[in-house]
């Protein structure tokens, strides 16, 4: 899914094509699975934004393979999964991908905790947008409680980052320059 | 590299337009329903796997019954006995009722057809009160179909896929249901408030005859829900001398957060009239 969108990602390394092909969509699929786990009620507003985190990582590490297009397709799949309006999460995921791809060099220079702040801001914007669209279409109140999810996303970012970097190195996917 | 950034930006702008278009089409019309229905097959495994941990826990727990299970069994036995005794009277009453309606030459009220469905997912998104159930177009589910739990109305089907449907609960902000007070037949509307088991009764004037503890049942108005199912119980009435309407809090009789299985109802009266 990821490599097709930019086409030029093939030059980096072709030695272990099998891992390279499955790790990226696989990790996104796991993130979607984590999204629909039956969480207890008190956690409902504090579930980390798994898909955004994983997408953000791949856009940082391999912006030539995973970009706005893959982000958009991921978002459409999330819309299907959560039965939300078609295109709602597609917009937000494309947005996340755009930020990460255009600023990937600068973002990589940051400390992990600085990246956490960026993750917090990005997921807060995303949640605010989703909440706003829900407000327009379903007459739902705008409530501040939804920001909990942005906070937990930022808190689990170091873990997600470490795991995905390990998975990337193991499967021989090189960082794009 | 600059090229990557510029093309990214253009691609992003294009995708935004595309998504906004999709959202508008999806919100305003039903054209995308078929796509959604087909694509739900794709998301089915996710919900199935996501369900696994919970079902494994309940399964394992079921092999090691503790005291609470026996206590529950005992309670259920008592309830069963009580219900059976009620049922005897019910049969007699049904017979009597149909006899009387025949005397009055009124339409005979038959029992509604139901099928059982399991809840697949309850936390689709934290913004609205919707659940996913494992029955869809293949079982004949239709949009607007009433969904009930053993102790009250849960909501109605708002989206049908091939073998899954989305149910909008009575507690959802966008859901209203015509009801009447069981005690005196006063008609009104119960409106969802986005709280777990609380609903509001917004349109009753200050002098309306309603009390704490009143049971609200479906009135059958609007033709969507068959009449006579329990919806909510009034828990609090706040009278404000300056307000034109009473402020009433009610609790749904169905324990929405505990329900595992639901019933989809086919209203025979309506089927007959169509």
Distance (Å) from the alpha carbon of B6 to chain A's nearest alpha carbon: 9
The predicted structure's pLDDT at residue B4: 67
**Is A67 in Cβ contact with B11 (below 8 Å)?**
yes
List pLDDT tens digits, range B154-167: 999 998 888 889 99
Annotated domain spans of chain A:
2-170
Distance (Å) from the alpha carbon of A114 to chain B's nearest alpha carbon: 23
List pLDDT tens digits, range A116-171: 999 999 999 998 898 888 888 877 777 777 788 899 999 999 999 999 999 998 88
pLDDT tier at A8 (50, 70, 90 boundaries)? Answer: very low
pTM, whole model, 2 decimals?
0.71
Q: Phi-psi bin for A110: left (phi > 0), alpha (psi -120 to 50), beta?
A: beta
**Is B22 in Cβ contact with A87 (below 8 Å)?**
yes
Q: Write the CA distances from B55 to B32, B116, B220, integer angstroms.
A: 32, 18, 37
The predicted structure's pLDDT at residue B105: 60
Burial of B4 (0-12, 13-18, 19+ CB in 10 A): middle
B23 → closest Cβ in A80, A85, A146: A85
Distance (Å) from the alpha carbon of A52 to chain B's nearest alpha carbon: 15
**Is A87 in Cβ contact with B53 (below 8 Å)?**
no
**A54 vs A24: CA distance, rounded Å:** 9
A33 → closest Cβ in B20, B39, B46: B46
- SS3 string, chain A, reads CHHHHHCHHHHCCCCCHHHHHHHHHHHHHHHHHHHCCCCCHHHCCCCCCHHHHHHHHHHHHCCCCCCHHHHHHHHHHHHHHHCCCCCHHHHHHHHHHHHHHHCHHHHHHCCHHHHHHHHHHHHHHHHHHHHHHHHHHHCCCCCHHHHHHHHHHHHHHHHHHHHHHHHHHHCCCCCCC
Asked whether the predicted pLDDT for residue A9 surpasses 60, the reply is no
Please, what is the average pLDDT of chain A?
84
Residue from B200, B180, B202, B203 nearest B192 by CA: B200
The predicted structure's pLDDT at residue B271: 60
A85 → closest Cβ in B26, B39, B166: B26
Burial of B33 (0-12, 13-18, 19+ CB in 10 A): middle
Please, what is the average pLDDT of chain B?
83
Q: Are B158 and B132 in contact (CB under 8 A)?
A: no
Query: CB-based contacts of A101: which residues, under 8 Å, 6+ apart?
Result: A59, A63, A67, A68, B4, B5, B8
Asked whether the predicted pLDDT for residue A13 surpasses 50, the reply is no
From the options 1.10.3470, 1.10.10, 1.20.1300, 1.10.1760, give the CATH code of A2-170: 1.10.1760
List pLDDT tens digits, range B175-212: 999 999 988 889 999 999 888 888 999 888 888 888 89
Asked whether the predicted pLDDT for residue A28 surpasses 70, the reply is yes
Residue from B164, B162, B155 nearest B118 by CA: B164
> In chain B, which residues have their Cβ closer than 8 Å to the Cβ of A74?
none
More confident residue, B17 or A19: B17
**Is B18 in Cβ contact with A38 (below 8 Å)?**
no
Please give the average per-residue pLDDT across A8-20, as a whole number.
48
A80 → closest Cβ in B43, B53, B122: B43
A94 → closest Cβ in B15, B130, B194: B15
> In chain A, which residues have their Cβ closer than 8 Å to the Cβ of B125?
82, 84, 130, 134
pLDDT tier at B106 (50, 70, 90 boundaries)? Answer: low
List pLDDT tens digits, range A55-91: 999 999 998 888 899 999 999 999 988 888 889 999 9
> In chain B, which residues have their Cβ closer than 8 Å to the Cβ of A72?
15, 18-19
């Amino acid at each position: 899914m990821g490599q097709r969108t930019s086409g030029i990602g093939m030059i980096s390394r072709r030695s272990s094509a099998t891992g390279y092909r499955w790790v990226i969509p696989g990790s996104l699929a796991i993130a979607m699975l984590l999204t629909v786990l039956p969480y207890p009620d008190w956690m409902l507003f504090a579930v980390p934004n798994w898909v955004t985190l994983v997408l953000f990582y791949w856009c940082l590490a391999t912006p030539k393979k995973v970009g706005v297009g893959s982000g958009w397709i991921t978002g459409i799949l999330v819309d299907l999964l959560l039965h939300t309006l078609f295109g709602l999460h597609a917009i937000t995921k494309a947005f996340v991908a755009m930020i990460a791809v255009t600023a990937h060099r600068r973002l990589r220079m940051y400390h992990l905790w600085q990246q956490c702040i960026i993750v917090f801001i990005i997921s807060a914007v995303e949640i605010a947008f989703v909440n706003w669209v829900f407000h327009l279409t379903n007459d739902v109140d705008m409530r501040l409680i939804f920001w909990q999810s942005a906070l937990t996303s930022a808190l689990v970012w170091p873990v997600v980052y470490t795991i995905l970097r390990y998975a990337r190195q193991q499967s021989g996917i090189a960082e794009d320059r | 590299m600059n090229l990557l950034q510029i093309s990214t930006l253009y691609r992003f702008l294009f995708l935004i337009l595309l998504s906004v278009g999709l959202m508008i089409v999806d919100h305003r019309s039903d054209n995308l329903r078929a796509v959604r229905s087909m694509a739900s097959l794709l998301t089915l495994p996710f919900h199935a796997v996501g369900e696994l941990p919970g079902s494994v826990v309940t399964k394992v727990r079921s092999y090691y019954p503790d005291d609470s299970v026996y206590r529950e069994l005992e309670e259920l036995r008592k309830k069963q006995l009580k219900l059976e005794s009620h049922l005897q009277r019910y049969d007699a009453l049904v017979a009597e009722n149909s006899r009387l309606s025949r005397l009055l030459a009124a339409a005979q009220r038959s029992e509604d057809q139901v099928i059982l469905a399991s809840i697949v997912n309850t936390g689709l998104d934290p913004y609205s009160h919707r659940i996913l159930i494992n029955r869809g177009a293949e079982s004949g589910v239709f949009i607007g179909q009433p969904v009930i739990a053993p102790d009250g109305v849960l909501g109605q089907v708002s989206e049908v896929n091939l073998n899954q449907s989305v149910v909008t609960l009575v507690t959802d902000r966008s859901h209203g249901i015509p009801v009447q007070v069981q005690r005196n037949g006063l008609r009104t509307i119960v409106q969802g408030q986005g709280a777990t088991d609380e609903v509001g009764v917004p349109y009753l004037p200050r002098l309306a005859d309603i009390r704490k503890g009143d049971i609200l049942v479906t009135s059958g108005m609007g033709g969507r829900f068959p009449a006579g199912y329990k919806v909510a119980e009034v828990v609090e009435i706040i009278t404000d001398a300056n307000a034109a309407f009473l402020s009433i809090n009610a609790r749904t009789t169905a324990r929405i957060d505990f329900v595992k299985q639901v019933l989809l109802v086919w209203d025979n009266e309506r089927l007959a009239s169509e």
